[in-house]
């Protein structure tokens, strides 16, 4: 089985070559400038580096509407999360921006990063956006709250990146073109992608290692970037995984690199988005567990697995897992499919329970978390995003 | 404006016997129509034939050097 082709058939590269870069930098100085927030810079880099292939820019109106209503781009390619660039009416007036214009995109310090060829300027209905993508309009949902904070207009069009947007923890950052070479060099023909925003407990490890029994390699790909309060800090996740990999994995069949991207908490739709991204990195399989990319109780526990039935043409094989727990009778990690014992023997891998223990300064027991990993997490007085 | 806008879908015809075979084939799969199956298959074929942007040996060597520098390759 060869590594899958990138989504849409071609790995997008919207970074400019040296020759074109100089001219673009010069051009950028003369153009209207728009500063991007941190999460938009991540999206920009993800487009430029092909992580969001086949997108070549922020969504134009036809793609945006198709994604909202059909979960597909206008050309029918599966795509579930709108990758958008918002702007206020005031900002548009200040920039005197019209369709057909070119814009300079800058980072927070005003440094020029990219050109954007604005093909489409359009308004949208925030309530409809929230309802379609997050299946709720409840502003207590972090993704919905974010939608209501966006500007009233969206800009669509191709980008050309000439400045490097250095991601945080860049020594762990690999582009799809690099992971594909890496997988090839390792001789992996099948690779399971694992999405995470948590420090690893034994349940995660069990899922990854179960996948490793039928694929050549596991690609652990933590999302780094803006998260909600109560999630683990990025540096804690990375340190915990480094320790786990060093102590409990064979180097030749496990790789970790980061995915700098904002979590949307869009549950089922985001699971598809995560799968597409891993396909672009070269994964043949993608692990989907319980309540993938969920938050609170907005989505049923396995909604993120069920949505895959709408996408037989996704081009990556989803691997579904039920939730795991430790059974004191089996003396190992199991799930309800393989463990005949009662609830009284079960120790669940509840994120809330682990969080409470850590906040009380307690070390989670070895049935829940590897002692080496727990020790690393304990180094932080508060390992969670405030 | 509306008339100028390109149609999103076009109709093509295929032999009725082939249509029936595909109908049989997609039974029990996640494809909900012959059209969605045919689109999928054709897209795969077209993508297969599309040329990748050439990735030179030199480019690949640069990638390998970075992977080595970061400790991903020995």
CB distance A180 to A2 below 8 Å: no
H or E element at residue A115: strand A112-117
Residue B74 lies in a domain: no
CB distance A81 to A269 below 8 Å: yes
How confident is the model over A224-245, as a mean pLDDT? 92
Q: How many CB atoms lie within 10 A of CB A5?
A: 19
Q: Which domain holds residue B43?
A: 16-69
pLDDT at B1: 42
Residue A11 lies in a domain: no
Pairing relationship of beta strands A254-256 and A285-288 according to DSSP bridges:
unpaired
Residue B8 lies in a domain: no
Catalytic residue status for A280: no
Q: Please count the structural domains in chain A.
A: 2
Same domain, A283 and A325: yes
Q: What is the mean pLDDT of chain A?
A: 94
Same domain, A64 and A180: no
Q: B72: distance to nearest CA of chain A, Å?
A: 8
Residue linked to tokens 């795991």: A324
Same domain, A297 and A344: yes
Residue B39 lies in a domain: yes
Same domain, A137 and A191: no
Q: Does A171 touch chain B (CB under 8 A)?
A: yes
- Partners of A9 on chain B (C-beta within 8 Å) are 43, 46-47, 50
Among residues of chain A, what percentage have pLDDT more than 70? 100
CB distance A345 to A364 below 8 Å: no
Same domain, A150 and A210: no
Give dist(CA A351, CA A289) in Å, integer.
14
Catalytic residue status for A125: no
Q: Measure the CA dihedral A70/A73/A75/A76, to 10°.
A: -40
Decide which of A150 and B36 is more confident. A150
Same domain, A112 and A41: yes
Q: How many residues does chain B have?
A: 74
Residue A156 lies in a domain: yes
Residue A10 lies in a domain: no
At A379, the pLDDT band (50, 70, 90 cuts) reads very high
Strand residue runs (E) in B1-72: none
Residue A54 lies in a domain: yes
Same domain, A194 and A323: yes
Contact B8/A74, CB-based, under 8 Å? yes
pLDDT at B55: 74
Q: B17: distance to nearest CA of chain A, Å?
A: 23
Residue A5 lies in a domain: no
Residue B24 lies in a domain: yes
Same domain, A188 and A299: yes
Same domain, A123 and A55: yes
CATH number at residue A33: 3.10.400.10
Q: Please count the structural domains in chain B.
A: 1
Contacts 24+ apart (CB under 8 A), A338-344: none
Same domain, A154 and A178: no
* pLDDT tens digits, one per residue of B31-66: 889 998 998 898 888 877 766 666 788 889 999 999
- Please say if the pLDDT value at position B28 is more than 70: yes
Give me the sign of the Cα torsion angle A147, A152, A154, A160: negative
Least CB–CB distance from A185: residue in B31, B47, B73 = B73
* pLDDT tens digits, one per residue of A69-124: 999 999 999 999 999 999 999 999 999 999 999 999 999 999 999 999 999 999 99
Same domain, A72 and A53: yes
pLDDT at B29: 86
CATH number at residue A251: 3.40.50.620
Q: Which domain holds residue A347?
A: 170-377
Same domain, A175 and A149: no
């Amino acid at each position: 089985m060869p590594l899958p082709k990138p989504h849409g058939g071609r790995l997008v590269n919207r970074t400019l070559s040296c020759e074109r870069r100089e001219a673009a930098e010069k051009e950028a100085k003369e153009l209207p400038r728009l500063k991007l927030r941190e999460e938009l810079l991540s999206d920009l880099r993800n487009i430029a580096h092909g992580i969001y292939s086949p997108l070549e820019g922020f969504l134009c109106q036809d793609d945006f509407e198709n994604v909202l209503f059909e979960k597909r781009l206008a050309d029918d390619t599966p795509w579930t999360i709108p990758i958008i660039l918002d702007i206020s009416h005031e900002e548009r007036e200040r920039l005197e921006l019209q369709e057909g214009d070119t814009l300079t995109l800058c980072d927070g310090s005003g440094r020029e990063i990219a050109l954007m060829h604005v093909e489409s300027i359009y308004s949208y209905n925030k309530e409809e956006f929230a309802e379609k993508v997050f299946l709720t309009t409840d502003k207590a949902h972090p993704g919905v709250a974010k939608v209501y904070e966006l500007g009233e207009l969206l800009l669509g069009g191709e980008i050309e990146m000439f400045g490097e947007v250095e991601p945080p923890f860049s020594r762990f950052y690999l582009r799809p073109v690099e992971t594909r070479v890496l997988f090839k060099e390792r001789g992996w023909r099948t690779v399971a992608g694992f999405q995470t925003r948590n420090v690893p407990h034994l349940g995660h490890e069990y899922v990854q290692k179960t996948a490793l029994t039928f694929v050549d390699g596991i690609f652990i790909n933590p999302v780094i970037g803006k998260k909600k309060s109560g999630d683990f800090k990025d540096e804690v996740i990375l340190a915990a995984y480094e320790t786990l990999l060093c102590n409990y994995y064979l180097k030749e069949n496990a790789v970790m690199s980061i995915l700098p991207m904002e979590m949307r908490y869009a549950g089922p739709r985001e699971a598809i988005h995560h799968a597409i991204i891993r396909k672009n990195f070269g994964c043949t399989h993608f692990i989907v567990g319980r309540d993938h990319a969920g938050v609170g109780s907005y989505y049923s526990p396995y909604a993120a697995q069920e949505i895959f039935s709408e996408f037989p043409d996704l081009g990556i094989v989803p691997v579904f897992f039920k939730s795991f727990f430790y059974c004191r009778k089996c003396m190992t990690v199991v799930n309800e499919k393989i463990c005949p014992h009662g609830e009284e023997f079960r120790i669940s891998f509840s994120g809330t329970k682990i969080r409470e223990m850590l906040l009380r300064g307690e070390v989670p027991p070895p049935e829940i978390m590897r002692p080496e990993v727990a020790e690393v997490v304990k180094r932080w007085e508060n390992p969670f995003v405030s | 404006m509306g008339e100028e806008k390109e149609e999103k879908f076009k109709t093509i015809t295929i032999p009725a016997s082939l249509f029936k075979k595909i109908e049989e084939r997609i039974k029990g799969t996640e494809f909900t129509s012959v059209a969605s199956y045919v689109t999928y298959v054709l897209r795969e074929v077209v993508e297969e034939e599309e040329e990748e942007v050439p990735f030179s040996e030199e480019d690949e060597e640069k990638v390998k050097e970075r992977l080595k520098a970061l400790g991903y390759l020995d």
